[in-house]
Amino acid sequence: MTERVVLAYSGGLDTSVAIGWIAEETGAEVIAVAVDVGQGGEDLDVIRKRALACGAVEAEVADAKEEFADEYCLPAIRANALYMDRYPLVSALSRPTIVKHLVAAAKKHGAGIVAHGCTGKGNDQVRFEAGISSLAPELTCIAPVRDYAMTRDKAIAFCEDKNLPIATTKKSPYSIDQNVFGRAVETGFLEDIWNAPIEDVYEYTSNPAGPREADEVIITFQQGVPVAIDGKPVTVLQAIQQLNERAGAQGVGRIDMVEDRLVGIKSREIYEAPGAIALITAHQELENVTVERELARYKRQVEQRWSELVYDGLWFSPLKRALDGFINEANEHVSGDIRMTLHGGRAVVTGRRSQSSLYDFNLATYDTGDTFDQSLSKGFIELFGMSSKIAAKRDLAQ
């Protein structure tokens, strides 16, 4: 029986060439699988037909935008997930979504190998392969660019030699990955970390310095889930899409950072994630109102570890699943409204209200009606500082 390989297919030059390249290198039949996570671009049916024209024996396409938003972006919002306190895991979240579809296709078509188009220097190779091995340990993985030296020059020559139905001339100076949760841009002149990004790098966001009226928005959450914008019900996908448009128009969500890759190198990355940043900012503030202090303090530690696990490709790991349980519990009372002003590249919270609020006006006020018993504070301070006071006496006596 002929071996079968499931290929993560984008419709671009590299993965189109990979179909024939893998067939020649391995003698296997190739099944192409394209997954729509809101990256835009060509119609899925056009991509499917191209895969078949390039030699795939089967081609599957999946509209996974709702699945991506509900099962991957939403947990990140509830976790306030920001790798290195800045990056909302745009690419890292899409990989396990794609992995699930690749594994399902491999089982459906009796394939023993899964292939992807990642290089040997990036994080995505780990995200694909660690995810695949967690869901289907019996599958093996190959990467033509990494394993078979499929350089771009060789890919173009292969494409022209085989007369494949894909353009080979236009090449962006950047490496771009995008989905509904955001957009990542790297390489080209950006590899010199002294070079400032120019406006043509950006697509999801307008120049924040441009003159425009501010945009006020109210985001409603139920147990950490965005359920309405300005009082109108939305799905998670719709919340992200609407805020991509509105926050993006105000230049919100631009990130320029040097990040620590899993493979041990530092990489300069430009991100645009207007909807993600607006939603995480709003969710963080609603937690400030509704989550008890010790739980909130501990959750911040969990958020950092959760973000690192997802960035490192361990979405399906036991620790990630266990932390999901904690995050779900911590979001039980995160319900209410957050009012934000979107303007000048910033999403600024200006109002909060919640039936689950722990904010007590009568305890907080300094005016008449104050119910806080200040006479208790003197004894509290004495006990709170006791251990430090005893240690200080000892240290001064030495």
Q: Choosing from 4, 48, 78, 95, which is the catalytic residue?
A: 95
161 as an active site residue: the answer is no
Nearest residue to 333 via CA among 388, 267, 287, 391? 287
Place of tokens 């409204």: 337
Pairing between strand 29-36 and 336-343? unpaired
Q: Choosing from 10, 14, 268, 307, which is the catalytic residue?
A: 14
230 as an active site residue: the answer is no
What amino acid is encoded at 97 in this protein?
T
Q: Choosing from 124, 127, 134, 307, which is the catalytic residue?
A: 124
Please name the residue ranges forming H helices in 110-223.
124-135, 144-147, 152-162
Question: Following DSSP, what letter does each residue of 32-44 receive, concatenated?
Answer: EEEEESS--SS-H
200 as an active site residue: the answer is no
Q: What CA–CA distance (Å, rounded) separates 59 from 54? A: 11
Q: Choosing from 133, 175, 354, 356, which is the catalytic residue?
A: 175
Residue 96 carries which DSSP code? Answer: H
- For the chain, where are the E strands, in sequence order? 4-8, 29-36, 58-63, 113-115, 140-142, 175-179, 182-186, 215-222, 225-229, 232-233, 254-260, 266-272, 336-343, 346-353
Q: What CA–CA distance (Å, rounded) separates 211 from 253? A: 17
Chain-centre distance for alpha carbon 253: 13
215 as an active site residue: the answer is no
Residues classed as catalytic: 14, 95, 124, 175
